[in-house]
Structure 1
Amino acid sequence: MPAQGGHKFGMTWKTVRLELAGTPDFPNGSAARAYLLRLPLNDDGSVDEARLADHPGYATVRRHWPNQPDKSGYLLRKPAGWAFSFAVSADDGAPQLRIADPIRPGTTALIAEADGITLPFRIVECGA
């Protein structure tokens, strides 16, 4: 692969797995309720903003939920953080993501679902 910005193209794009953390309905969390994010991450876990700006269509999300079809879409960088778009329009009332930077396993992210409920998710994996 050709080098871009001193890196091979595929080297910084990582899959980040978020699993539902403890809630009143799921005190131990739930691995069956998960999001898979695809983001360009530097070695320190921070988002590679230059890589993201060069290839925003590669920043994807997949939602896995029991008894519901999976949803696939894109991660969008917004002034207040991140949003997921599961529809053609970027203004589809999609879930909002608040995630710490750097992104590391063991930390927690908050996702405000389209229905207005905010749920905690733990980052369980940041891999290739």
Structure 2
Amino acid sequence: MSLYHIRLEMARNKQFPDGNPARGYDIVAPLDAARHLDREAWKKAPGSATVTRFWDGERAALGLLVWHRKGGWAFDYEPGTDEDDESGFRFADHEFAPGEYVSVRDHGADELHTFVVRSVTPA
């Protein structure tokens, strides 16, 4: 299984017209040849797919990238509860390549935040 380090940074929006590199996610996950999240590889070692949420100097949140029982990818910071999960909007369909955009639904809210894939490097 090939793991990659994927860095997402908040894209430009009304609050941050130039984006915000101090808000985002560092993800370690398997990607397939098309740079999509590789669910089959993930199934072999789900604990190796991790996420670190960084947010304007707050304490980093550490979690796992999981295939949610409701379907789709999510960031799970506390196993056993869904209350803190953040879901990736159509993550299974996205190419994780520099310059691409993805969205994440904030836990406890229906708000989607858009992020730019800043870098993808072998882990």
TM-score (norm 1): 0.83
CA displacement 1:18-77 (0-9 Å, x = unmatched)? 000011110110111110111101232122222111001111110011131000000111
Q: Does 1:34 align with 2:2?
A: no
Contact (CA 8 Å) 1:73, 1:87: kept in 2 or not?
yes
Q: Where do 5+ consecutive residues of structure 1 fail to align?
A: 1-8
1:4 match: none
Tell me whether 98-107 or 22-31 shows the greater mean CA deviation.
98-107
Alignment partners' CA distance in 1, 2:14 and 2:38: 35
SS in 2 for 1:57: helix
Tell me whether 116-125 or 88-97 shows the greater mean CA deviation.
88-97
1:113 to 97, 101, 106: 106
- Larger-gyration structure (1/2): 1
Contact (CA 8 Å) 1:85, 1:92: kept in 2 or not?
no
Paired residue total: 118
1:3 match: none
Q: Where do 5+ consecutive residues of structure 2 fail to align?
A: none
Alignment partners' CA distance in 2, 1:89 and 1:76: 12
